[in-house]
Amino acid sequence: MRRVSGFSTGILLLFLIISICSVVFIIPDSALAQECRIEFTKSAPGGEDTKFPFEATLDGGQPIPGFLSDGEESGVNFSSSAILVELPLEGWNLDDISCTGEGLGFNFDTENAVQLLCLVPGSTGSCTFTNVGGSGSRSIPTLSEWGMISAAAGLVLIGVFFAVKRLRASKQSDAIG
């Protein structure tokens, strides 16, 4: 039998290390394509520099906080599901969440949130969160409501006028007769 020299053993060991590292540390493109991606945008006319708070929960993990301003965009990758939530901000109301994308499922059952499902690995989509400026919990009457209030006040004044007129007429008839 032949003895294996130390040099041959070193080359064999180096070949094994390189082979194992290439399998373990290099992620093939097919593995990256297994995730879905969602891009989400903030639309808030009049809220140029306002930072709207968001949370993204990816594949059941811990919520990841973040902020977006009007016109800004962000994106996340997820394997099975993701939940995007816009947290309340005083003076603003979430008006609409619209999402598109093939191979993704969208669930809008939760207030201020959308749940995303990765139905076809490698799919991409987009969501837009639209806000309108609000006045908090106090509502200001619209022009038509002010019109109704004015009409009601006018009818009350007319009623008082005729009641006073009738009262004077009955007092005069009592004084005559």
pLDDT tens by residue, 86-135: 999 988 999 999 999 999 999 988 888 999 999 999 999 999 999 998 65
Give the whole-angstrom CA distance, residue 71 versus residue 65. Answer: 18
Residue range 144-169: mean pLDDT, rounded: 88
Rounded Cα distance between 97 and 10, Å, is 61
Is residue 92 within 8 Å of 132, Cβ to Cβ?
yes
pLDDT value at residue 136 = 45
Residue 137's pLDDT is 43
Rounded-to-integer distance, Cα 96 and Cα 13, Å: 60
Give the Cα separation of 20 and 42 in Å (integer): 45
pLDDT at position 21 over 70:
no
The pLDDT assigned to 1 comes to: 47
Contact 47, 131 (CB under 8 A): yes
Percent of the chain with pLDDT over 70: 76
Confidence at 33, pLDDT banded by 50, 70, 90: low
- Quote the pTM value: 0.57
44: exposed, middle or buried (C-beta count within 10 Å: 0-12, 13-18, 19+)?
A: buried
Rg (CA), the chain: 35
